[in-house]
Structure 1
Amino acid sequence: MSQATELSLSISARIQRVVMRGTGALPPSVLRRAVGKRNRVNSDGDRLAPEMALTGWVAETLPAFELAGKPVAKARADLRENAGALAEDLPPMAVEEDLHIDGPDGRIPATRYRAQIESVGVMVFFHGGGFVQGDRVTHDNLVRRLAIATGADVLSVDYRLAPEHPFPAAVDDALAAWRFAVDKAPTWGVPVDRIAVAGDSAGGNLSAVIAQQVRGEDVTPCLQMLIYPATDLVTKRESRREFASGLFLTDEHMDWFLDHYVPDLAQRTDPRVSPLLADDLSGVAPAYVIVAGFDPLRDEGIAYAERLREAGVPVTLDRASSLIHGFANMTLISPDARAAVNRIGDALAGAFR
């Protein structure tokens, strides 16, 4: 069993877990009445799921649920507690192994999950959290779900975080983790042509960057799974304005994250920071890009999928129209989030086959 991903919840988080579970079981009609005027329809005509509206209200109202704009240590601790409160009861893994990867600046902690005795592939997973927070604990529920859905090993990586380790530390660690997986896959009984990169938000950014960095090498990802990825840390597109507040991730939060991760504005045009700004995307790994309909990052995810398609890269764009940023960690309370994560699992499973 992994000791690194164990989390002892506080009493308040345990109460929160019970409340969240009960909220998730309410009929949508009851939730819609409860959220009242927070029911929203976006400019594309998509309707916000009521449990997502409620989540946005909670994040806006209760400081413990706010993503950013507070001391970094507090933001990290709060995210861990909130993620633990939203964790589902999932079956045990056949393999759950804490590892260390030799990185450019020391050892990189990681955990390998395998749901079955044998594995069909390896997924190198990079967590979200704005490059400032998040870790194997905050994304333990999601990677367990994906391990079960795909039948693959999931290597969940604790890359270095800002502001202690600004860009390019996360990219360097992500690349080291990819090379570690390529070396280890045969010893885990997996062919090297069945290794994918995956991640949400900041982790989606790192997955896209790694797919670009290893383009043309002997081993490249069989799929880059980009879950509401940050792809352009320079331009604020219309979705950054339309969903600037009240929907969990805000425009102000994004500025906070970027100021910690890339304080040097001149570096933000580097394709290792903003993969959308790469001159040429031809020849990178096939991609599955899933965006949320009420997410400030929606439009840059769509733009990246379009750039990939224009470059001749096989790409699927999945628009989870009723959801908000972070939905992959909200499967306990949201049927639409569960359905979207199921599609993510199906796409990865198909790539491994």
Structure 2
Amino acid sequence: MREAPVGHLADPELTAYIESERHASGPTPRQVGAVEARRLQRLRAATRPAGPALAEVTEVTVDGPVPVSTRLYRPTLEPTPLVVFLHGGMWTIGDLESHDGLCRRLAVAARAAVLAVDYRRAPEHPWPAAIDDGVAVFRWAAEHAVELSGTTHPPAIAGDSSGGNLAALICLRLRDQGGPLPAVQILACPNTDLTLSRPSTRTKATGWGLTTDAVAWGIENWVPDPRRRADPAVSPLFAVASAGLPPAVIVTAEHDPLRDEGDEYAARLRAAGVPVRHRCEPGMVHGFLTLAAIAPSAAAAGERLFADVAELLPR
């Protein structure tokens, strides 16, 4: 039985936002398609407050399977750790602009340089294009860490939502290819099971912002062949061997259709001996990292994650 869209949200501001989302009559991504969904996403991103000013923000092109655009955020020109960041957006509609404010906040709060990756998106570029781009950028960043952030430490890797899926898959591929491995993997509300078979995809399917149908639409664009979606190169939760992966920070949200698969991935890594710091944020919804200007509770949840990252990054 589908759970009714009721429950305790973390504060009145988040409640008001989710209520407005529940009653919104705008088109869904499935209804309008990728190109129009991207345009609507850009309009929405433009209404969000700008993130904090930084010492340096530069555009950098990385040679990969194809040239990959990236954006480097530096909170200071002093040496800092480096984080390679993969944005969310169902592998389809997110971009550097949709996550610009988040990258700025992460850079300041974690005291780290952040290299955001403008990977190729579906449906024009289905699996594994985004992973290929992310691996190429991470390898390049590891080789150029000194010029990017002034440090010789290996970079960390981070991602939210579908970007968390990419970050986890990049770690698996790098491990299997002999490295270099990220110092830490930071996964916020990650997709780890593209078969959508965990209970929260049903109990939290509608009424909490992100819908399971929207996730399914993104999956259909990125991995058109349903038979491939249980492949561990697509769904990291199905990886038979999870040992040898970098330490992980994994945060999930109570009212998120992706909650169970994120929680299970944290448990799977921990059982394999990977150090894991995991927290399910009570009263929170998917994508809370981009809702800091809307709800104090979302801002506070983000600050808790950033504090974990700051503590665990090599310095």
* Alignment correspondent of 1:260: 221
* Alignment correspondent of 2:164: 204
Q: In the alignment, does 2:294 pair up with 1:294?
A: no
* Alignment correspondent of 1:193: 153
Q: In the alignment, does 2:36 pair up with 1:71?
A: no
Moved more, 56-65 or 342-351: 56-65
RMSD of aligned Cα (Å):
1.9
Q: In the alignment, does 2:304 pair up with 1:343?
A: yes
**C-alpha spacing 1:192/1:50, structure 2 compared with 1 (3 Å):** same
Which of 57, 63, 74 lines up with 1:102 in the alignment? 63
**C-alpha spacing 1:218/1:260, structure 2 compared with 1 (3 Å):** closer
8 Å Cα contact 2:95-2:118 kept in structure 1: yes
**C-alpha spacing 1:192/1:117, structure 2 compared with 1 (3 Å):** closer
Q: In the alignment, does 2:237 pair up with 1:276?
A: yes
- In structure 1, distance between residues paired with 2:29 and 2:156: 28
8 Å Cα contact 2:255-2:286 kept in structure 1: yes
Which of 83, 87, 93 lines up with 2:45 in the alignment? 83
* Alignment correspondent of 1:159: 119
**C-alpha spacing 1:344/1:67, structure 2 compared with 1 (3 Å):** farther
* TM norm structure 2: 0.93
**C-alpha spacing 1:244/1:96, structure 2 compared with 1 (3 Å):** same
8 Å Cα contact 2:59-2:71 kept in structure 1: yes
* Structure 2 residue identity aligned to 1:317: H
- In structure 2, distance between residues paired with 1:269 and 1:39: 29
Q: Deviation digits for residues 271-324 of structure 1, max 9, x if unmatched?
A: 221011001000100001000110000000000000001000000111111111
* Alignment correspondent of 1:137: 97
* Alignment correspondent of 1:227: 188
* Alignment correspondent of 1:180: 140
* TM norm structure 1: 0.83
Which of 85, 101, 122 lines up with 2:82 in the alignment? 122
8 Å Cα contact 1:119-1:151 kept in structure 2: no
8 Å Cα contact 1:207-1:224 kept in structure 2: yes
* Alignment correspondent of 1:111: 71
- 2:232 is paired with a residue whose SS is coil
Runs of 4+ in 1 over 6 A off after TM superposition: none
- 2:123 is paired with a residue whose SS is coil
* Structure 1 residue identity aligned to 2:248: A
- In structure 1, distance between residues paired with 2:79 and 2:299: 23
* Structure 2 residue identity aligned to 1:103: G
* Structure 1 residue identity aligned to 2:200: S
How far is 1:188 from its partner? 2.9
Correspondence 1:238-249 to 2 at 5 A = 238-249=199-210
Moved more, 146-155 or 296-305: 146-155
- 1:103 is paired with a residue whose SS is coil
8 Å Cα contact 2:171-2:246 kept in structure 1: yes
Q: How many residues align?
A: 310
- In structure 1, distance between residues paired with 2:85 and 2:26: 26
Which of 40, 44, 52 lines up with 2:6 in the alignment? 40
Q: Which has the larger radius of gyration?
A: 1
How far is 1:196 from its partner? 0.5
How far is 1:267 from its partner? 1.4
For structure 2, which runs of at least 5 residues remain unmatched after alignment? Answer: none
- In structure 2, distance between residues paired with 1:189 and 1:155: 10
Moved more, 94-103 or 215-224: 215-224
- In structure 2, distance between residues paired with 1:65 and 1:96: 34
- 1:128 is paired with a residue whose SS is coil
How far is 1:252 from its partner? 1.0
8 Å Cα contact 1:282-1:311 kept in structure 2: yes
Which of 94, 117, 131 lines up with 1:171 in the alignment? 131
For structure 1, which runs of at least 5 residues remain unmatched after alignment? Answer: 1-37
* Alignment correspondent of 1:325: 286
